[in-house]
Each structure stands twice: as C-alpha cells, then as structure tokens.
Chain A
Amino acid sequence: MADTDITSKTMDGMGPHGTKVGLLRVLGPAHVWALGVGIVLVGEYMGWNFAVGKGGAYAALIACWFAGILYSCVAMIDSEVTSTVAAAGGQYTQAKHIVGPLMAFNVGLYLVFAYTMLEAGNAITLGYLISVAADMTGATEALDQRPFIILAIMFLAWLNYRGVLATLTFNLVITAFAFCAIILLFFASAPWSEGTMLAHADLMSGQAALPYGWLGVLAAMHFGLWFYLGIEGTTQAAEEVRSPARSLPFGTLAGIMTLLIAATLTWYICVGYLPWEYLGDGVNGAVAPLFSAAQMTGSDGLILILGFGTLFATLASANGCINDASRAWFSMGRDHYLPQWFGAVHPTYRTPYRAILFLVPIALIFALGAPLDQVITFSILSGLLGYTFMPINVILFRRKWPLDTIKRGYVHPFHPIPALVLLALCSVTYFAVFLGYGTQLIAMVSFYIVVSLWFHFWRYRFVKRADQFTMPWPKPRGY
C-alpha cells in the first residue's frame, strides 16, 4: 500500500500491482438495477407464456413463484459473495477465489455463452418486432429482418465500446419505461372495477385450470425461469460501481423485488385477457403476450406504449448481455485463462474493448444462422449450470471465510437454507428441461466436459497462478 499514489498521473491512481489503465468506477445502485432488470424484463414481455402451453395458467403461476424462490436465493447468495469480490467477471471471479481454476473456467464459459446466446435471441426478436411494425403500418412486401438484427447488435456493441456509464444509463431509461408500461396496463385494466374486461373466472375454470395435471406444472418449470433469467448479471458490474459493498446488494435485491412484482402482474393481466390455448402458443398465438393483452383493451395509447415497452425490453436485454458477456470474457483473458490479449482496457473509454469486439461476430452468427428456440435453450442451460454452482460456492465461502474473517456488504439470512433450496430447485428444473430438451442438455454437458479437458491438460499451464489473486483477503480457514 505504501507504493500507492492516488494522485499519480501515470499509474491512474489505481493500486499496488501496476494497473495503468483499468475499468472506471462510475456506476451507482440504479445502474446495477438497470443491468439486472434490463436483461430479464424481456422475459415478461415474451417467452414466459410457453409455460402456459406446457401446463395451463395455474401451472404457469406455480412455475413463476417457484422460479421466483430459486432466483431470490440466487440474488441473496450473489449479493453476499459479490459484495466481497468486487471485480469484473462476477461468478467466474467468485469461483476462482472460492472453488478453484477448473470451476472458474467452466463458470466463465457458462456466463459468456448464456449472455451471448441471449443477446442473439434478443436480436432475432427485435428483427421480428420490426417486421410486425412494418406489417401494421401497411408494408406491401415482406421485410428483410437481417439489417435490423445486425443494426441492433452493432449499435449496442458500439454503445458498450464507448463507455459503461452511457450504456447503463441508456438501460436505466428504457428498462424503467418497460417496467412502468406493465404497471400502467395493470391499472388501466382496473381489476377492482365491476366493468373490468379481465375474465379470470371464465378463462381459468374447468378443463382450463390444470389441463395436463401436475406433470404440466413440472414441465412449466422450464419456462418459469424466463421471468427472472439473467438477474445474476448484476455481479458483472462489480469493478465499475463506486461502492461495490453497498451498490451490488442494493441493486440486485431491488432488482429481484421488481421482477417478482412484474412477473406476477404480467401473469395476472395476460391470463385475464387471453385464453390459455392462445396464450400458451408463443409461435402462432401470443408471441408478445403483454402486447396482445394491450390490444384486447382496444386503447391505441396502451397498444403504442406496450409496443414500445416490448421493443425497449428487448433492446435493454441485449445491451446488458453485451456488457456482461464482455466482462466475463475480459476477466478470463486478464487472468490468462484465455489469451491475455482479451484482457485489454481501452485507455480513453475504459471498457474491455477487445472482448466486446470479439463477441460481436459470434452473436451475429447465432442471430443470423440459428433458430430462436435453440439459441434460447442454449442460454437457459448455460444459466442453469451456473445456478448449480452457486450453492456449492456459498457453502464453501462460508466455510473457508466465516463471517468473522471477511467484512461483507450484505449477509444473506438462514444460511444454508437458501443454498439447499436453490440446489433442490435446480434439480427439479434439470428434470423439467430434460423432458423437453434432453438431447440439447446432454450435448451441452458433453461440450463443457471436452473444454474442461482442454483447459486442464493444455490451457492451465499459461495461467500465472499467483497473479490472479489480488484481493486483500485473509488466508482461508484451515490453510
């Protein structure tokens, strides 16, 4: 610490290990909220309704709340661990410090694939939304969606390249708009009024209640994740927030509360307006259920607002995904888990510019060449593998660094119950995913086994083992 000079013009005032150019700490809790909720909220606007198709409206609600418990555990665990590991990379960095290099490499890849695939899925969706807008405005010929898919990825990558503050402030504005649009639709529907158009009693009785019984509830769990998938992405901002110990838990926990409200309201509004057979068909039926619900109200204003809400939610998700995938890739490069070339920071914009640029063509290949359901399934499975790591991570963290050894910004309650609940819910979700996408699940696990072997037998020799740990942590208990 004695060599540190925070007024130095050459060392950037950043610390004892020789950082000349690093990421900028300019974000606050609202940006953390915008990053987490921004990635997820598109799941409220489209995608979650496949759960209705799997098991009916009640099954979707049960899946929504069970997935809500799963993600509340994720948010609490992440908030505690990340408040002490204030570095880019999120769960990758946590795994590196707490579990070990092989787990860290795998978790880093889960993150990069989950976010890059989700970004590609969002770009495909955005192209589709533009084509719907063209149809609604009387376009005579079928629209070419490719320029809009490419423009979305290029514009957001450019924004990310130019600086994190503008990127996440943009996310804050469009995410807040998309969330307020859901609230507005709920109040405009006036469920407390006798004249309301919501028809829950008619649409959810008899055969419609649980059309496929309890097996349908289990199958719906797969798509219940859609309501919250990505909230764990808040941890990627750890190296760019002004006060990590305060902002990260605050932003993450506010984010999961926002999503619990948005998810429940979305379910309530949509099942009250749309019959379950139509709502559950996300391909030929309700592609964007909140927008379809707005159309049912007959209000042009609401249709316009929910239309922009859908568009903004899609953009916000892709934007947050670029931010998170690039931070994970950058961190792995910085630690030599990947070529160090990726660990570069732009000296003017202070962003991981090479990681951002490298992931652009990968997102484009998947957005232009792969079907949406496969892209999204790849993303969900990578996310699920990441959630399975979290309970192991927090149990080891508490064991190696008990509460009296490292100061936490947030201590999650009832440990180890959230970890065990998370593990149990992950197991149920694996089974649910296996029912629908067993081949993809096996293919993906095989892929991660192959790359783990590559890392263990080849890549790990390039990792400078002492260099990767610069946190001022005490030695773990027992070492």
Chain B
Amino acid sequence: MWPMIETGAWVLSALFALHMVWDWYKTDSTYSEDVLTSSREGEIEAMTEQHKL
C-alpha cells in the first residue's frame, strides 16, 4: 500500500506545482506589469481609518 501512496504523493506534488506555474504564466501574460504591481500599502486604511482622535 505505501509504495502506491508514495507514488500518489509524487503525482499530487507535480500537479500542484504545474497548476501554479501554469497560472503564473497565464496571469503574467494577460495583465500588464503596471496593474500587477500597483499595490500600495495601507490604502484601504487611508480611506477608512484616518487616525483622528
């Protein structure tokens, strides 16, 4: 039984890795770098909590 589970673990690992790499390629080729790296820290915070006493 355990040799089969070992093989299953190799296969699942490969599937998870391939899915991430495929999605990474798809995302990077669909969206511009400007959009993907547009995040700035604390922007929602800037709108909702203005630290007024």
Binding site for B on A (CB under 8 A): 1, 4, 6, 14-23, 25, 84-89, 93, 134, 137, 139, 141, 143-144, 147-148, 150-151, 154-155, 157-158, 161, 239, 244-245, 331, 334-335, 340-341, 343-348, 353-354, 357, 360, 404, 406-407, 467-468, 470-474
> Contacts A155-B12, A158-B16, A344-B36 known; A147 to B6 CB distance under 8 Å?
yes
Inside 8 A of A407's CB, which chain B residues have their CB? 49, 51-53
| Contact pick for A345, options B2, B19, B39, B51, CB 8 Å | B39
Inside 8 A of B13's CB, which chain A residues have their CB? 147, 150-151, 154-155
Q: State whether A340 touches B23 (Cβ < 8 A).
A: no
Main secondary structure of the interface of A (DSSP, over half): loop
Q: State whether B2 touches A134 (Cβ < 8 A).
A: yes
| Contact pick for B40, options A18, A157, A346, A360, CB 8 Å | A18
Q: State whether B41 touches A472 (Cβ < 8 A).
A: no
Which residue of B has the minimal Cβ distance to A87?
Answer: B41
| Contact pick for A353, options B6, B24, B41, CB 8 Å | B24
Inside 8 A of A1's CB, which chain B residues have their CB? 46-47
| Contact pick for B16, options A89, A143, A155, CB 8 Å | A155
| Contact pick for B51, options A144, A161, A473, CB 8 Å | A473
- Inter-chain CA distance A244–B6, complex, in Å, is 43
B19-52 contacts to A (CB < 8 Å)? 19-21, 23-24, 27, 31, 33-47, 49-52
> Contacts A6-B47, A472-B46 known; A17 to B31 CB distance under 8 Å?
no
| Contact pick for A344, options B37, B41, B42, B45, CB 8 Å | B37
- By Cβ-Cβ distance, the 8 closest A-B pairs, closest first, are A15-B43, A147-B9, A87-B41, A344-B36, A154-B16, A20-B38, A158-B16, A17-B40
Which residue, of B33, B39, B46, has the highest number of chain A Cβ atoms within 10 A? B39
Listed by A's residue number, 5 A-B pairs whose Cβ atoms lie within 8 Å are A137-B2, A151-B12, A158-B16, A346-B27, A404-B53
Which residue, of B1, B34, B51, has the highest number of chain A Cβ atoms within 10 A? B51
- Inter-chain CA distance A334–B43, complex, in Å, is 13
> Contacts A353-B24, A353-B27 known; A4 to B42 CB distance under 8 Å?
no
Inside 8 A of A345's CB, which chain B residues have their CB? 36-39
- Inter-chain CA distance A346–B23, complex, in Å, is 10
Inside 8 A of A20's CB, which chain B residues have their CB? 34-35, 38
| Contact pick for B41, options A88, A158, A474, CB 8 Å | A88
- Inter-chain CA distance A471–B40, complex, in Å, is 10
Q: State whether B51 touches A239 (Cβ < 8 A).
A: no
Q: State whether A471 touches B42 (Cβ < 8 A).
A: yes
B23 to chain A, nearest CB (A): 7
> Contacts A347-B31, A347-B35, A472-B51 known; A334 to B9 CB distance under 8 Å?
no
Q: State whether B52 touches A343 (Cβ < 8 A).
A: no
Inside 8 A of B44's CB, which chain A residues have their CB? 14-15, 22, 25
Q: State whether B35 touches A21 (Cβ < 8 A).
A: yes
Which residue of B has the minimal Cβ distance to A150?
Answer: B13
| Contact pick for B42, options A150, A239, A341, CB 8 Å | A239
Q: State whether A245 touches B53 (Cβ < 8 A).
A: no
> Contacts A15-B40, A150-B9, A151-B9 known; A84 to B35 CB distance under 8 Å?
no
Inside 8 A of B27's CB, which chain A residues have their CB? 346-348, 353
Q: State whether B37 touches A19 (Cβ < 8 A).
A: no
| Contact pick for A158, options B20, B38, B42, B47, CB 8 Å | B20
Which residue of B has the minimal Cβ distance to A342?
Answer: B37
- Inter-chain CA distance A347–B27, complex, in Å, is 8
Q: State whether B46 touches A470 (Cβ < 8 A).
A: yes
Which residue of B has the minimal Cβ distance to A474?
Answer: B51
Q: State whether B41 touches A93 (Cβ < 8 A).
A: yes
Q: State whether A239 touches B2 (Cβ < 8 A).
A: no
Which residue of B has the minimal Cβ distance to A85?
Answer: B42
